[in-house]
Structure 1
Amino acid sequence: GRPPLMFAILAGRLEFMSMLFADPRADISQEDNYARTPLILAVVKSQVPAAQLLLQDPRIDPNLQDGQGCTPLHRAVEKAHDEMIKLLLEHSDVYPNIPEGYLESLIHWAAQKGHLEALQLLMADPRIHVGREDMFHWTALHWVARQGYLDLAEFLVADQRINVNIMGNHGETPLHIAAEEGHEDVVRVPLETEGID
């Protein structure tokens, strides 16, 4: 079942949410059957005003993970919901480097899904670990190379913090992956960059 706060979020009923917040008996962090917190539900359902209201309450932990190990920020990146990503990143208690189950960071998610704007927002946040590796020792650039996202490849390679020569578990660099996948336009991006070995 869903707690009353969840119904208020789904309906966009901010006044009812405020009433629940004022009631000391109300459990405003109760999860639903999918282990989603109220904030995660607000993100998933694109309820920006509800998310804003939730983030104002000190009882809300903006880093709680759902049953799949995802935080509200993971879900915002997954949906490429730029307004929600900005809102969450502006909150000082949001920790943007929590990995999900496969050790993938938020920039991995944005890279895999081809969400350039989300990737730009994340990379602009000084708290983000841009060179984070997943369980395969792949960075965001490895995933961009695999998927063939030219605009994301250009964006990442232009960032001085990105190591274009980093190798995965089997010694594969992003350049190797792009070539193997037949993404010739993406292969040219790192080749035109200084520092390629």
Structure 2
Amino acid sequence: MTELHQAAAAGDYDKVEEILRQKKCSPNERDIDWSNKTPLHWAAAKGHTKMVRVLIAHGARPCPRTNYGWTPAHSAAEYGHLSVLRQLHSLNAPIDKEDSYGDKPVRIAEIYGHLDCVRFLLKAETEGQAYRKMAALKGISLDDSDEEWAQRSKVNEENLISHRNIQV
């Protein structure tokens, strides 16, 4: 875990600003010891709404995924951080992506009983889909997919198929 991950998780805005200003660490750095979480995942999970805004303003991508396909929205939904979900949605971050098991953030919020988040996410999913359609029509590029995770998932799937074939 980098110093930036720790500061984002702790909600230490001054430290995060200092690290990012001095370019000591990328805001998109993945923590391999913690399922490839980024500082944005930590800020979302801890409910640091302002930190989410600060990280994205400094270039943090809103769409990175953990090893299990969780976006920062999944992390916020798990702990019922409605204000973080609202912040992510207002920044056009993807809030309706499925994880490796097919669960969207709305399902995670439902599992943990965060009904206010469920209500918000159901509405926000529809708004997000409409925005993506409009953006596609107008040629607006969106940062809503994690190519690195997609590649890792593809390699993992190929390895699983290969492993099954060897055992047969």
What TM-score, normalized by structure 1, do the two folds share?
Answer: 0.60
Say yes or no: does 1:153 pair with 2:81: no
* 2:64 paired residue number: 132
Say yes or no: does 1:183 pair with 2:119: no
Q: Is the 8 A contact 2:62 2:94 kept in 1?
A: no
Q: Give the whole-Å Cα distance in 2 for the aligned partners of 1:89 and 1:195.
A: 29
Of structures 1 and 2, the one with the larger relative CO (CA 8 A, separation 6+) is: 2
Structure 2 unaligned residues grouped into runs of 5+: 131-168
* 1:144 paired residue number: 76
Q: Is the 8 A contact 1:157 1:189 kept in 2?
A: no
Q: Which has the higher helix share?
A: 2
- Structure 1 position 164, deviation (Å): 2.1
Q: Give the whole-Å Cα distance in 2 for the aligned partners of 1:89 and 1:165.
A: 28
* 2:16 paired residue number: 85
What TM-score, normalized by structure 2, do the two folds share?
Answer: 0.69
**CA RMSD after TM alignment:** 1.7
Say yes or no: does 1:117 pair with 2:47: no
Q: Is the 8 A contact 1:157 1:190 kept in 2?
A: no
Structure 1 unaligned residues grouped into runs of 5+: 1-69
- Structure 1 position 196, deviation (Å): 5.3
**Rg: which structure is higher?**
1
* 1:75 paired residue number: 6
Deviation per residue, 1:55-100 (Å, 9 max, x gap)? xxxxxxxxxxxxxxx2221121122111111111111353222211
* 1:105 paired residue number: 38
Deviation per residue, 1:82-123 (Å, 9 max, x gap)? 111111111135322221112001111111111222222101
Percent identity at matched positions?
28
- Matched residues, number: 126
